[in-house]
Amino acid sequence: MSATTRRVLGVVLAVLALAGGTVAFSSQRATQLKAASVQAQAEVDAELPKVAASLEGLTQEVARAAERGANLEAIGGLLSEITSQADLEPLAKTFEAFETEPFFAPFVKVGPHAFFLGATPLFSTEPALVPKLQTLAATATTAGTATAIVTHGGAVWLVGVSRSQKTNPQQQPIVFALAEKLTPVRLDGLASKHGAAVLVVPDGKSIDAVGGGSKEFVDVLRHRLTSMKLLTEPCCAQKELAPGVQLLVHRDPAARLHAATAEASKAAAPIYGVAGLLALGALVFGFRPQRKPQNDEHAELLRQTAAQLKASQEQLQRLSQRIETASTTDRFAGGAPGPTDDGLGSTQATVQQSRYEVVAPLGEGGMARVAVAVVRGAEGFRRTFVVKRLRPELSNNPEVVSQFIDEARLGASLVHSNIIPVFDFGRDAEGYYLAQEYILGRDVDALITASREQRQRALEPEVVLYIAQEALKALGYAHTRANDAGKAMGLVHRDVSPNNLMVSARGEVKLLDFGIVKSDDRTTRTQAGVVKGNLFFMSPEQARALPVDPRSDLFSLGMVLVSALTGETLYSGDNVYDLMTRAAAGPTDADRERVKRECGALADVVLKALSVDPASRFPDAEAFGKALAAVGPAATSAQLQALVETLFATQFAEERQKFAVSA
């Protein structure tokens, strides 16, 4: 073996040792962070019933106040005079007169209240509350006290009801009901006690929710209610506190995650120490002076090289024995990827540096990273793109790469004013990428959230009509697309959601993300039984992993309309399993009643789109669009532009300055 070959081998072995150490450390760190996340979520799950118990304790305080009110001396004296039905009206007037008496001022200060003779209403400061209090009064007549948490007038009320010790000649007691409005001050005390942020939501209306604790973490809970996206980080726990009342709790996982990170960092020294020694040994082997080997020494040198490589592999495997992702380590230990066939016909020996200069990252998913980037040219030419890059660790997975190529190929073949086009695809020094048109705008999810936060309402029906009709133009084009041979491609988007509908600053509506699209022209196929898409919006047949056709996309668009018109998703669930079950079953009778109640003139069209049986839906996008047009006039592009510019004026100004391009 020549000296040059030996040196190359030494460098390769050193790089392998250092790379293996990096993988071992990263994998161990990821495992510890995952365990910490699970523990953080378990802690917030355990805190939820404790917070609920504390809220029940607050209702007990109100009940004790009600008990004091029911047994006032003035009430005891009145009871002996109640002998017939005719006495009830004067008694009610007497209780009304209590409102101005000093002895009754503490109860007036608490909140709305009511008097009953047994379960018979006598007087109330809030008549609309009486039906909810009457059942509690009947319970308190026999049990002595009753408590409840109820909703009324967009607020949550802590209710305590108690009976008097004395009765009238017919053995009927006076029952006094007292209601205290749940306020942020009350919840701040609970939050401090439990070290958690608390949010209580009446009747599913996040705009009326009341929170306590850190504003930052209360906002996290509000985001969970208003966003269409599932939160994957350790975050929140949720339960129904009472009919129509949801309780959400959040505990900050940062301390636990930081501790896990610090603990993982302690392993860096021994792991990198061993990797460094192996790398040093490899370099010494490669660069030590050595006379030209004779033929009989050549075989011995090869044997030593093989033994050295084997020892490096075994040492790195021992370092990673606790790591679940050992397969990744093995790939690095086996050799660095080079100019070999990637399974897709690529045999290029070298790749060029990227011509896309990243300006700002936009996000990262399980498959790809997305960023705003610019391309520069002669004479100051500059153009902005959105670049989606396959994650580097997936570049050697032929199935994933084929799926990414399919997305680029299909995206480039779809040329329509309501679809964001793919302009470029390739592979450079940073891996596989595709480049799409950069559009100044926001997705419909952001539009819905901003409308609720800034205007305290969902989107107007006219605006929703326009967005839906423009989206249907894109879907109608995609569904009927044929390939170059004239054969129908059978496209189904499979991920129509507010996050994949973009509204530009010019009032345009564009469909994006054909990453999981179903097409007869795809080289990759979704495995049987695998469900892909957004559970909040997918059709029942898609959630059941059954074959889908364009009518599945029309169902998803119907779900988008519900969210846009109401400001909230039709489905809700505490976890992925709950959402999967809801999606597979389809809208319930209660869901359909909600659509009738909250979607106004669009309700009938939306309900047809949301039919569980695909045969009962609109047959195609054109029929759906005609039904929407028959409802009434839609907003214009200019009106949508004005709304978007109003809601995102500051952000757009910053982006225009940051991403400005020359004419």
611-655 pLDDT, tens per residue? 999 999 999 999 999 999 999 999 999 999 999 999 999 999 888
Query: Is residue 606 within 8 Å of 594, Cβ to Cβ?
Result: no
Is residue 108 exposed (0-12), middle (13-18) or buried (19+ Cβ within 10 Å)? middle
CATH number for 112: 3.30.450
* Shared-domain flag, residues 214 and 314: no
Which two tokens mark 292? Answer: 């030209």
Domain that includes residue 288, residue range: 3-36+256-334
Q: What confidence category does residue 441 fall into, taking pLDDT thresholds of 50, 70 and 90?
A: very high
20-63 pLDDT, tens digit per residue, is 767 766 777 777 777 777 777 778 888 888 999 999 999 999 99
Which of 560, 364, 606 shows the shortest CA–CA distance to 448?
A: 560
* Shared-domain flag, residues 548 and 616: yes
Beta strands in 88-243 (DSSP E): 113-117, 120-124, 145-152, 155-167, 173-181, 197-202, 210-212, 236-242
Q: Position 94: which residue type? A: T
Rg (CA), the chain: 33
Q: Do strands 245-250 and 145-152 pair parallel, antiparallel, or not at all (unpaired)?
A: unpaired
62 in a structural domain: no
Does the model's pTM come out above 0.75?
no
Handedness of CA 410, 413, 419, 422 (dihedral sign): positive
Residues near 165 by Cβ (< 8 Å), separated by ≥ 6?
71, 76, 173
Query: 3-state DSSP call for residue 327?
Result: helix
341 in a structural domain: no
Task: Choose between 219 and 316: higher pLDDT.
Answer: 219
**Across-strand partners of 382?**
376
pLDDT, position 408: 85
Judged by average pLDDT, the poorest of 7-16, 180-189, 223-232 is 223-232
Residue positions counted in the chain: 663
- Catalytic, 495? Answer yes
519 in a structural domain: yes
Q: Is the pLDDT of residue 240 over 90?
A: no
91 in a structural domain: yes
* Shared-domain flag, residues 477 and 556: yes
Query: 3-state DSSP call for residue 147?
Result: strand
Q: What confidence category does residue 422 fall into, taking pLDDT thresholds of 50, 70 and 90?
A: confident
127-144 pLDDT, tens digit per residue, is 999 998 999 999 999 999
Judged by average pLDDT, the poorest of 26-40, 275-289, 324-338 is 324-338
Distance from CA of residue 630 to its chain's centroid? 34
pLDDT, position 313: 47
Q: Is the pLDDT of residue 564 over 90?
A: yes
At which of 230, 252, 274 does a domain end? 252
Instruction: Name the most confidently modeled range: 295-309, 351-365, 512-526.
Output: 351-365
**Residues of the chain with pLDDT > 90: what percent?**
41
Q: Do strands 236-242 and 245-250 pair parallel, antiparallel, or not at all (unpaired)?
A: antiparallel
pLDDT, position 397: 85
51-103 pLDDT, tens digit per residue, is 999 999 999 999 999 999 999 988 887 887 787 778 888 888 989 999 999 98
* Shared-domain flag, residues 245 and 266: no
pLDDT, position 122: 92
540 in a structural domain: yes
Task: Give the pLDDT mean for 459-470.
Answer: 96
CATH number for 403: 3.30.200.20
pLDDT, position 488: 80
pLDDT, position 324: 36
Task: Give the pLDDT mean for 519-538.
Answer: 54
* Shared-domain flag, residues 162 and 293: no
Q: Is the pLDDT of residue 328 over 70?
A: no
Alpha helices of 572-620 — where are they, by DSSP H?
576-585, 589-598, 603-609
Distance of alpha carbon 611 from alpha carbon 436, whole angstroms:
35
* Shared-domain flag, residues 431 and 454: no
Distance of alpha carbon 33 from alpha carbon 41, whole angstroms:
12
Alpha helices of 227-321 — where are they, by DSSP H?
254-265, 268-287, 295-319
Q: Is the pLDDT of residue 460 over 90?
A: yes
Distance from CA of residue 278 to its chain's centroid? 45
Which two tokens mark 513? Answer: 């993300």
* Shared-domain flag, residues 509 and 625: yes
Q: Is the pLDDT of residue 290 over 70?
A: no
Residue 464: CA count within 13 A, CB half-sphere: 29
370 in a structural domain: yes
Q: Domains in the chain: how many in total?
A: 5
In which order are the strands placed within the sheet that holds 441-443? 441-443, 501-504, 509-511
Query: Is residue 389 within 8 Å of 368, Cβ to Cβ?
Result: yes
Residues near 179 by Cβ (< 8 Å), separated by ≥ 6?
62, 110, 111, 112, 113, 126, 129, 133, 150, 152, 157, 158, 159
At which of 417, 438, 459 does a domain end? 438
In which order are the strands placed within the sheet that holds 431-437? 357-364, 368-376, 382-390, 431-437, 422-428
Cα–Cα distances in angstroms (integers) from residue 6 to residues 286, 314, 342, 659, in the given order: 5, 21, 27, 50
At which of 155, 182, 209 does a domain end? 182
Query: Among 252, 443, 445, 495, which one carries the catalytic annotation?
Result: 495
pLDDT, position 287: 67
574-613 pLDDT, tens digit per residue, is 677 778 888 888 999 999 999 999 999 999 999 999 999 9
Handedness of CA 318, 322, 324, 328 (dihedral sign): negative
Average pLDDT, the chain: 81
pLDDT, position 349: 39
Residues near 83 by Cβ (< 8 Å), separated by ≥ 6?
168, 169, 170
Q: Is the pLDDT of residue 439 over 80?
A: yes
pLDDT, position 388: 92
Query: 3-state DSSP call for residue 518?
Result: strand
Distance of alpha carbon 624 from alpha carbon 81, whole angstroms:
70
Is residue 622 exposed (0-12), middle (13-18) or buried (19+ Cβ within 10 Å)? middle
Distance of alpha carbon 274 from alpha carbon 282, whole angstroms:
12
Which two tokens mark 470? Answer: 């423009």
* Shared-domain flag, residues 20 and 151: no
Q: Phi then psi for 361, rounded to 5 degrees?
A: -70, 145
Q: What confidence category does residue 560 fall into, taking pLDDT thresholds of 50, 70 and 90?
A: very high
Distance of alpha carbon 349 from alpha carbon 32, whole angstroms:
38
Query: Is residue 339 within 8 Å of 40, Cβ to Cβ?
Result: no
Query: Is residue 411 within 8 Å of 422, Cβ to Cβ?
Result: yes
User: Phi-psi bin for 519: left (phi > 0), alpha (psi -120 to 50), beta?
Assistant: beta
584 in a structural domain: yes
* Shared-domain flag, residues 9 and 110: no
* Shared-domain flag, residues 264 and 239: no
* Shared-domain flag, residues 14 and 106: no
Q: Position 92: which residue type? A: A
* Shared-domain flag, residues 431 and 458: no
53 in a structural domain: no
